[in-house]
Amino acid sequence: MANPGEQLQISNSDGFSVSLDVNAVVESWLTRSVNSSLKRSNDIRNDKSKAVFDFFDFCGKSAEAVLPSDVEEWRWNLKTEKLADGTIYNRISALAQFFDYLRKEVGMMKLIPINPARVSLPKAAKPFQSESVKALSREELGRLLDVVSNHAIDRRPVHLRDYAILQFYVATGRRRAEIINLRGDSIEIKNGRFFIKAKVKGGFFLNFELDDDTTKNALFDYLKITDREDIFGADEPLWLRHDKGAKSGGNKGLTSHGFARRMEIYAVEAGIPRFHIHRLRHTFAKIVSEYSESMAETQEALGHSNIKTTQIYVQRLAVKKDKHSKSIRDALKNNVAPDSSDKAER
């Protein structure tokens, strides 16, 4: 079932056998299960279909022969690839939905008496509660910046690139893909001001200003060493691969996964366990909320459409400063209560 063009054999209750094209079955399932009006419908379709085909590529069995143990083996394989728990849950959940469709809609109930993926489906991870998305402490962030900065001293493109990207995450708090996918025409310098146009969650574009000299200088250093100072306005990836496999075929853009792996190495050197790039966004949220003392400002800085999402980020992190208790106490001290002699005279 793994390869496009393969046929899926099914039998109905009367014993009538028919062959169906696998791609057609998956396409029919996606059409019924994904709301096409959603902005991310194409991304959802791609994620679901990838989960299904990846599983059958790994398993090598036909649908009716799959056992819960096969799904469990796939789950452990995903863990060895260091995928996040939430990602693993989403992939197995998509596979379970596909098996539900095969059993109930395609007519494979007798051939597939139980849903093997549903049996092996782990508990859904609570949003923003795992170690991988906790904010870094100021000390941890400082150590991470120092480690990457020390590597960049050698002026190698790969280290200058990593340092510049890290500064972008620290200064903007943007999501991983929003920084990694930047291109030359994503940046505009106008009247000395630095503007970024990033494709954000939901598929639309957001324009925002970057007013941080450390980040801008890190970018200019990287572009100078790679002889690409004229990239602004060009439809080319801002961040390039600099490994041996990228030497042929022109400039190849850095992938999100590739940078994540490099950051994990830096984090180990900095003594930070269970590092995930999304922790930088939570760190940004923590610092903004502490300095602004405003949920609305933090929401705007993170680009959240719903303030409840922002509350999840900062409710366990920011401690509201006490602005009023001292004033109240001073006011009470100045309002001296009458002594006993006053009472006697009255």
Given 98, 120, 142, which residue is the final one in a domain?
120
Query: How many residues does this entry show for the chain?
Result: 346
Alpha-carbon distance of 223 to 238, in angstroms, equals 9
Whether residue 305 is contained in a domain is answered as yes
Whether residue 154 is contained in a domain is answered as yes
Whether residue 213 is contained in a domain is answered as yes
**pLDDT the model gives residue 238:** 96
In the numeric block, the tokens 């279909």 are attached to 49
Q: Are residues 111 and 194 in the same domain?
A: no
- Residues 258-292 have pLDDT tens digits of 899 999 999 999 999 889 898 998 899 888 888 88
pLDDT tier, 39 (very low <50, low <70, confident <90, very high otherwise): low
Q: Are residues 191 and 247 in the same domain?
A: yes
Between 58-72, 191-205, 208-222, the lowest mean confidence (pLDDT) is in 191-205
Q: Are residues 175 and 309 in the same domain?
A: yes
- Residues 220-263 have pLDDT tens digits of 999 999 999 999 999 999 999 998 766 655 678 998 888 999 99
What's the CATH code of the domain at 67? 1.10.150
Alpha-carbon distance of 77 to 42, in angstroms, equals 26
Alpha-carbon distance of 34 to 38, in angstroms, equals 8
Q: Are residues 139 and 104 in the same domain?
A: no
- Residues 128-143 have pLDDT tens digits of 445 556 889 999 999 9
Using CA atoms, how far residue 232 sits from 10, 161, 217, 226, in Å, is: 55, 16, 15, 14
Whether residue 192 is contained in a domain is answered as yes
**pLDDT the model gives residue 204:** 75
**Which token pair is 224?**
């100078």
Whether residue 56 is contained in a domain is answered as yes
Q: For residue 200, what are the domain limits? A: 132-314
Whether residue 125 is contained in a domain is answered as no
Alpha-carbon distance of 1 to 55, in angstroms, equals 10
Provide the CB-side half-sphere exposure for 213 (13 A, CA). 1
Given 120, 153, 177, which residue is the final one in a domain?
120
Res 2 pLDDT > 80? no
Amino acid present at 320: K
- Residues 81-130 have pLDDT tens digits of 877 777 888 899 999 999 999 888 888 888 888 999 988 787 765 554 45
Taking alpha carbons only, the member of 60, 68, 61, 88 closest to residue 76 is: 88
Whether residue 171 is contained in a domain is answered as yes
What's the CATH code of the domain at 230? 1.10.443.10
Largest CA distance in the chain: 108
Q: Are residues 213 and 244 in the same domain?
A: yes
Q: Are residues 87 and 145 in the same domain?
A: no
**Count of domains in the chain?**
2
Alpha-carbon distance of 74 to 54, in angstroms, equals 9
**Are the CB atoms for 199 and 185 separated by under 8 Å?**
no
